[in-house]
Structure 1
Amino acid sequence: MVFLRARHDGTTPLGCDPTDLAQVEAVVKASGTSFGKGMQILPPDRRYGMYAVYAFCRLVDDIADDEGEAQDKSDRLEAWRARIARLYAGEAHDALDRVLLATIRMFGLRQEDFNAVIDGMEMDARGPIVAPDEATFDLYCDRVASAVGRLSVRVFGDASPEADRVAYHLGRALQITNILRDVVEDGQIGRLYLPAELLARFNVPPVPQSACYAAGLDSVGRILAGRAHDHFRAADAAMRLCNRRAMRPARVMGATYAAILAAQERQGWHDPAYRVSLSRPHKLLIALRALVA
């Protein structure tokens, strides 16, 4: 049960009903991730705005990951696209709608960024992605990660072109890191996000489970890790031109994922069955360093 107190001036975050806010926060808590705790560094309006964005992303991602038929998943994602369109027409029907609508209005979120996230989930929903070409790989990273970043930086407090550049580069860096960490896990469900051109270059078969233990996988992983590092550096440079306070959550996420990538590089991809993770104290130390940097 989530309890929410009104602020001293009698208002609630985003001007929303406490019951609506609690329901959205419950979606975040039910996900079992550390996202909710990470967003506690934000003031209430921005925190609950991020909860709403996360809840949207979580629900559409769950559709893409369901075991149902591709057409059914596509239909459900189209229903979400229509739902977003209704929000931009000022129409809200449930708790998440109402909190999302308040977030959209307060922070100037763009409809095309919500639609891009849905487009990314549609790529997964149509069937397992297996060895996409480089252009498709980059488009997928933009839709499922950088588009989320474009929504997030506005909620964080910076809607500048420089903040969009942070979203562009940090989103790609985070997504590439996730892909490199989850090669085996993705392979077990028939997915292989690694670009076909790199697989061919190092004689890695474009077959999910076979690719996981191919001799050339380590070389593919190290080239993609290099790209991720380039994106981390570009994101950091763009952050320096942004509102410093607004970029605090982005700095923490960047530092945390850069540490995960470094740990994955130390392990390599010769036997990627062990999924790299960071201890809680390590994550806390990284967060503290990022916040004071």
Structure 2
Amino acid sequence: MVRRHYENFPVASRLVPPQKRDALAAIYAFARSADDFADEPGEDHRLEALAQWRHRLRQCYEDEFAGRDRSHEGHLSSPDAVFIALGHAVAQFRLSQFNFENLLQAFESDVRVKRHPDFASLLDYCACSANPVGRLVLELFDHRDPELFALSDFICTGLQLTNFWQDVAIDLERGRVYLPLEDLVRFNISVADVEALKESARARVRLPLDDRWRQLMAFEVSRAREFLERGRVLAEKVTPDLRLQLRLTYLGGVTILDKIEEARYDVFRDRPQLGRLDSLRLFLKAWRASLGGRDQFFN
């Protein structure tokens, strides 16, 4: 989840002011490491690693790491370096503990839960796996208004859903299916059908995507797009130093959804992703909107 988000929106991350960028890097390192634990072999080992990560997180809020020397942090490659940097970020920007706790809860869910019975279950997962990241970014820029948190949740859930539909094949490799089972039933598709589509793409065998799959994915893409649209106005309600990054993040998510549609929902042969030209085009669009104001962004 964390790797995918950074891959889709690297330009937005680089636009964060330097002081806040260090804190964002600490948040990313914390979540990236925990995400890696959730993908390691052995369920008990993964859960124990996440439990240790939670213990270290709580030490950050007990000031154990806040006063330590940061000169040996390097590239946040060791656990101590991660939590020393995170402790400073927590103290400097008053980052809420429950957002980090919710992220860990999502990673634990990745270990235990491989299927989601319905869309409500998937949204509950997004509330822990995606929404805390947006809320932490808002806190980093000293935005703590509940209205902004709610708008951020729409954006982050939309982005998480976009990642799921973009990475159906990758998640299958890890034994995970984020497509709600009730939706598969609704469109008369089984998990075995989805696995067959993935295997045919790997073997370069032409197994045609039928209307059932395209209708299912059109339905899921429209859901993700609706969440992004509901949160779109967030960029107009934050301070200017965050506005460009949020516009880029929104545009990145919408562009991935556009690419899925352009591929006629075949996410197995060529994974939809942003290229360099896409990133440049989106940056110019977001930058022009910053010069032209709200109306230009919404047109």
- Please tell me the TM-score bracket, short chain as reference: 0.7 to 0.9
What are the equivalent positions in structure 2 for 1:263-278 lying under 5 Å apart? 263-270=259-266, 272-278=268-274
Residue 87 (structure 1) aligns with: 60
What are the equivalent positions in structure 2 for 1:129-278 lying under 5 Å apart? 129-207=114-192, 209-210=195-196, 215=210, 216-270=212-266, 272-278=268-274
Following TM superposition, by how much is the alpha carbon of 1:273 offset from its aligned partner in structure 2, in angstroms? 2.5
> Which SS does the other structure have where 1:109 is aligned?
coil
Cα deviation code 1:128-170 (max 9, x no counterpart): x124322221111121111111112222442222331232011
CA contact 1:153–1:247 (8 Å) conserved in 2: no
Count matched residues. Answer: 263
State the alpha-carbon separation in 2 of the partners of residues 33 and 206 from structure 1. 27
State the alpha-carbon separation in 1 of the partners of residues 134 and 197 from structure 2. 30
Using CA pairs under 8 Å that are at least 6 residues apart, name the structure with larger relative contact order, 1 or 2. 2
AA paired with 1:111? Q
Residue 24 (structure 1) aligns with: none
TM-score (norm 2): 0.80
State the alpha-carbon separation in 1 of the partners of residues 260 and 8 from structure 2. 20
Gaps of 5+ in 2: 69-79, 199-206, 290-299
Shift in alpha-carbon separation, 1:135–1:123, aligned structure 2, 3 A: same
State the alpha-carbon separation in 1 of the partners of residues 24 and 50 from structure 2. 21
TM-score (norm 1): 0.82
What are the equivalent positions in structure 2 for 1:43-58 lying under 5 Å apart? 43-58=17-32
Shift in alpha-carbon separation, 1:280–1:271, aligned structure 2, 3 A: closer
> Which SS does the other structure have where 1:283 is aligned?
helix
> Which SS does the other structure have where 2:27 is aligned?
helix
> Which SS does the other structure have where 2:191 is aligned?
coil
- Percentage of matched positions with identical amino acids: 28
AA paired with 1:195? P
State the alpha-carbon separation in 2 of the partners of residues 275 and 133 from structure 1. 25
Q: Which moved more, 1:221-230 or 1:56-65?
A: 221-230
CA contact 1:60–1:118 (8 Å) conserved in 2: yes
CA contact 2:218–2:261 (8 Å) conserved in 1: yes
Following TM superposition, by how much is the alpha carbon of 1:37 offset from its aligned partner in structure 2, in angstroms? 5.3
Following TM superposition, by how much is the alpha carbon of 1:211 offset from its aligned partner in structure 2, in angstroms? 6.8
**Runs (4+) of structure 1 moved beyond 6 Å?**
none
State the alpha-carbon separation in 1 of the partners of residues 226 and 272 from structure 2. 21
| CA-atom RMSD in angstroms | 2.5
CA contact 1:149–1:167 (8 Å) conserved in 2: yes
CA contact 2:168–2:267 (8 Å) conserved in 1: no
AA paired with 1:62? D
State the alpha-carbon separation in 1 of the partners of residues 8 and 29 from structure 2. 14
Gaps of 5+ in 1: 1-27
Q: Which moved more, 1:210-219 or 1:143-152?
A: 210-219
Residue 76 (structure 2) aligns with: none
2:94 to 104, 108, 114: 108
Q: Which moved more, 1:83-92 or 1:160-169?
A: 160-169
Shift in alpha-carbon separation, 1:135–1:82, aligned structure 2, 3 A: same
